[in-house]
A and B are shown apart, each in its own frame.
Chain A
Amino acid sequence: MARGRLTPLGWVLLVIGAAIMLAPLVWTLLLSLKNNAALVGHSEAALHGPYTLENYAAIFGNSLTTRWLLNSIIVSLGTTAGVLVITSLAGYGFARLDFPFRRTLFVIVLLGLAVPSQAVILPQHQLFAWLHLHNSYPGLMLPGLVAPFGVFFMTTYMRGIPIELDEAAMLDGASRWTIFWRVILPLTIPAQSTLAVFTFLGSWNDYWWPLISATRSDMYTLTVGLAAAQMNYAQTSGLGYLMAQAVFASIPIFIVYIVFQKQIVRAMAGTNVR
């Protein structure tokens, strides 16, 4: 709820702030729409015409960038689907079932939240090398499936579902699996979609594991590929092309952001921001 009016100074600051936020994005867009040669030594040429789409055409002609896009799609979708499946199963187990070591296992899973990825990256790298999983889709997806936050999130959400529903289903002769599949799971769809969006975003933007696991350029994800392109870049030749790659890499993620804006905001808020 609004707390009084914004002072004129406040408005000015906001507009300046928004300009600062948008300026780099606009700059990148403009650069991408310029012929490379025109930008050499004169990047300010981006601020006026003529503009061209030739850099974008070049991307589609370049099989590597589109290959990176495909890799990102496969890995992110696969990770998201996998996370939804195993965290739902685990969430139901922790929330509703009573089995030996339940509390201990849950605590161990929660402790995983405190472990930063750097602490495990080297042994993970070794492990995947032994298993011959580097430079493969499963290899890129597997670490993403280990999502303690996802389990915590699904468990908490499922705990919030009234237990009377389980009890009514038991009296209706439903097995544990049937209760999970036909009663609980359908009721977790809001949580699933939130978890899906965040998992997808996290997987798509991941610069850490794919960098280390994918050493062949045809297995790079878009995020890693873009970094490689950045590092191979030699001065201002190809600046327009490089920026076009940046814009290209941003489009899928902006689409996801716009489509799922409500999920993201609601997840942060717990309630509706609006």
Chain B
Amino acid sequence: MSGTRDWRGLLFVAPFVLLYGLILVFPLLRGLWLSLNQVDLFGAGHFVGAANYARLARDPIFAASLMNTFEVTLMIVPVLTVLALALALALNRATKGAAIFRGIFFSSAVLSVTIVTLIWRFVLAPDAGLLGDLWTALGWTPLPFLSDTHLALPALALTTIWWSMGFPMLLFLAGLQQIPEDMYEAAALDNASRWTTLWRITVPALRRTIVLVVMLQTAAQLQMFGQSQLLTAGGPSGASRTAVLFLFETAFAQWQLGYASAAAEVLFLIILAVTVTQYWATGRATAQGK
């Protein structure tokens, strides 16, 4: 239907667009500006060009935090995807029992990060934690999850996997629902075993959902903050400090706003690059009929 282009349409989108401009677009541009300045608590800064970025490149703490972020993301995403997919496959049925199990596996996803870290601090703590008590009861020494440099990141990963199971599982369930029955019937007529059916039919049909889950989870875990700050405070000695925690400490503990802004921009670029690469790589795989 063609109408006249009417300025009054703008009135409908104006409230959102104005807020959006003020609270997202302006800060986005301003953040870029801040990253080129040396700014402290009192806001009076002076222009330093790319000096912040140069400093970031030489900063071992920032580098370490980036490494930690990548490591923990790699620990989480593959395991989470496989587990969520397995759960969805197992629970994609209409029975009451399956519904109960689905509810159980989703329940952790509605909690906030502060509740989750609080719970898991007292699961992982060697002296007072659930796991610690269990280990002791079995006669083993409890593992010092939160205070060992090699165990801190795995601790974050474990907590996060427990926490994040719900939504990917639901997404996979939704994807499974959309696979047409005839494909399975044809496979049955072709005498396909259950394993073959899984690999040759179900998983390929779920490709889009798998890609979506991987992309969303990667972007989410690259931005990990709460677990790092609350479970381990980034320690011990920065072994579990994520990039966003670095940002937070630089900005709100050390008040180096310009430097922190530069770190924020770098992180933004990394997330963007990773997401685009994933999208492009999977697009090409699809095009090649893999």
Chain B 175-206 interface residues, beta-carbon cutoff 8 Å to A: 177-178, 181, 184, 194, 197, 202
Given contacts A24-B162, A118-B244, A146-B23, contact A89 B265 (CB under 8 A): no
Q: Is the CB of A23 within 8 A of B173?
A: no
Q: Is the CB of B28 within 8 A of A86?
A: no
- CA A119 to CA B16, docked complex, whole Å: 20
Q: Is the CB of B92 within 8 A of A3?
A: yes
Q: Mark A1-35, 1 if CB is under 8 A from B, else 0.
A: 11110100010001001101111110110010000
| Closest chain A residue to B23, Cβ basis | A146
Given contacts A119-B31, A207-B113, contact A89 B16 (CB under 8 A): yes
Q: Is the CB of A257 within 8 A of B110?
A: yes
- Nearest CB in chain B: distance from A77 CB, A: 17
- CA A242 to CA B92, docked complex, whole Å: 38
Report if A52 contacts B (CB, 8 A). Answer: no
Report if A115 contacts B (CB, 8 A). Answer: yes
- CA A117 to CA B225, docked complex, whole Å: 12
- Nearest CB in chain A: distance from B118 CB, A: 5
Chain A 97-124 interface residues, beta-carbon cutoff 8 Å to B: 97-102, 105, 108-109, 112, 114-124
Q: Is the CB of A176 within 8 A of B8?
A: yes
- CA A92 to CA B115, docked complex, whole Å: 38
- The segment from A53-61, A187-195, A248-256 found at the interface with B is A248-256
Task: Determine the chain B residues whose CB is within 8 A of the CB of A212 once the complex forms.
Answer: 252
Report if A136 contacts B (CB, 8 A). Answer: no
- Nearest CB in chain B: distance from A44 CB, A: 4
Q: Is the CB of A100 within 8 A of B5?
A: yes
Report if B70 contacts A (CB, 8 A). Answer: no
Given contacts A120-B27, A246-B118, contact A98 B128 (CB under 8 A): no
Give chain B's interface secondary structure class. helix
Q: Mark A225-247, 1 if CB is under 8 A from B, else 0.
A: 01100110000100100110110
- CA A28 to CA B103, docked complex, whole Å: 19
Report if A201 contacts B (CB, 8 A). Answer: yes
Report if A270 contacts B (CB, 8 A). Answer: yes
- CA A256 to CA B171, docked complex, whole Å: 20
Q: Mark A118-158, 1 if CB is under 8 A from B, else 0.
A: 11111111110000000000000011011010010000000
Given contacts A20-B162, A90-B13, A212-B252, contact A27 B34 (CB under 8 A): no
- Nearest CB in chain B: distance from A31 CB, A: 7
Query: Which of B9, B25, B95, B117 has the most chain A CB atoms inside 10 A of its CB?
Result: B9
| Closest chain A residue to B275, Cβ basis | A114
- CA A194 to CA B92, docked complex, whole Å: 22
Q: Is the CB of B104 within 8 A of A21?
A: yes
Q: Mark B1-42, 1 if CB is under 8 A from A, else 0.
A: 111111111111101110110111111101100100000000
Given contacts A86-B19, A97-B12, A105-B13, contact A115 B260 (CB under 8 A): no
Task: Determine the chain B residues whose CB is within 8 A of the CB of A230 once the complex forms.
Answer: 114, 117-118, 121, 230
- Nearest CB in chain A: distance from B43 CB, A: 7
Report if A196 contacts B (CB, 8 A). Answer: no
- Nearest CB in chain B: distance from A147 CB, A: 8
Report if B253 contacts A (CB, 8 A). Answer: no
Give the size of the chain A interface in residues (CB under 8 angstroms). 100
Given contacts A23-B130, A123-B31, contact A249 B112 (CB under 8 A): yes
Q: Is the CB of B111 within 8 A of A250?
A: yes
Out of A17, A28, A92, A207, which one reaches B119, CB within 8 Å? A28
Known A21-B105, A93-B11, A117-B223; 7 more pairs at CB < 8 Å: A27-B122, A97-B6, A116-B271, A122-B251, A201-B110, A231-B230, A274-B99
**A positions within 8 Å CB-CB of B:** 1-4, 6, 10, 14, 17-18, 20-25, 27-28, 31, 39, 41, 43-44, 47, 85-87, 89-90, 92-94, 97-102, 105, 108-109, 112, 114-127, 142-143, 145-146, 148, 151, 163, 166-167, 176, 180, 201, 204-208, 212, 223-224, 226-227, 230-231, 236, 239, 242-243, 245-246, 249-250, 253-254, 256-257, 261, 264-265, 268-271, 273-274
Give the 10 A-B CB pairs with smallest separation, nearest first.
A99-B9, A93-B12, A97-B9, A2-B93, A123-B27, A205-B112, A268-B170, A93-B13, A269-B174, A90-B16
